[in-house]
């Protein structure tokens, strides 16, 4: 601790060290108490049913659906990959939405994945950009074609 950088103080260094330790412990206690109070009286907003319903509707009614953020390089790469294969994904940019955080939480509750992009093809959750890149191009093209050719709503597969 910083007390050791001071000159000797006639045998009271141990007392100064002890006081510094108690101050540190007290600060941790105050932090934990304030954090508990914040969580108790101001819990994080949870997505409402309307957010989950909106996401489910977008997944079901679009052959290719991507939850994205405009500033995310992985999202841009995903959209470039899909566009290069001729897909025209429906994109929900959560940064552009007024309740984007709640929409992203709703998707996270469905998929278990917090990061973007989140890709759905024919109602099936593919994953993120890394998972999309692991799918063989011929299989990916087949999935995109089947999703485009499907009639009606897609069944959600997580």
Across all residues in the chain, what is the average pLDDT?
Answer: 89
pLDDT for 5 equals 64
Whole-model pTM above 0.75?
Answer: no
C-beta contacts of 141-147 below 8 A and 24+ residues apart: 141/85, 144/63, 144/64, 144/82, 144/85, 144/86, 144/87, 146/122, 147/63, 147/64, 147/121, 147/122, 147/123
pLDDT tens-place string over residues 24-81: 888 999 999 998 888 777 766 777 889 999 999 999 999 999 999 999 999 999 999 9
Question: What is the pLDDT at residue 78?
Answer: 98
Contact between 68 and 91 under an 8 Å Cβ cutoff? The reply is yes
Tell me how far apart the alpha carbons of residues 126 and 123 are, in angstroms, rounded to a whole number.
9
On the question of pLDDT at 128 being above 70, the answer is yes
More confident residue, 36 or 124: 124
Other residues' Cβ atoms within 10 Å of the Cβ of residue 84? 9
What's the pLDDT score for residue 38? 81
Give the residue, 45 or 87, on which the prediction is more confident: 87
Which of 111, 120, 118 lies closest to 143 in space, CA to CA?
120
């Amino acid at each position: 601790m910083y007390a050791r950088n001071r000159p000797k103080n006639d045998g009271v260094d141990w007392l100064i060290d002890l006081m510094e330790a108690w101050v540190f412990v007290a600060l941790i206690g105050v932090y934990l108490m304030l954090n508990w109070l914040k969580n108790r009286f101001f819990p994080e907003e949870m997505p409402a049913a309307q957010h989950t319903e909106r996401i489910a509707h977008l997944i079901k009614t679009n052959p290719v659906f991507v939850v994205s953020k405009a500033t995310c390089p992985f999202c841009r790469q995903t959209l470039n990959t899909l566009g290069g294969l001729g897909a025209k994904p429906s994109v929900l940019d959560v940064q552009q939405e007024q309740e984007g955080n709640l929409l992203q939480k709703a998707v996270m509750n469905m998929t278990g994945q917090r990061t973007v992009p989140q890709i759905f093809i024919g109602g099936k959750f593919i994953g993120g950009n890394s998972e999309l890149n692991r799918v063989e191009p011929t299989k990916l093209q087949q999935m995109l074609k089947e999703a485009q050719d499907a009639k009606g709503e897609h069944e959600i597969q997580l």
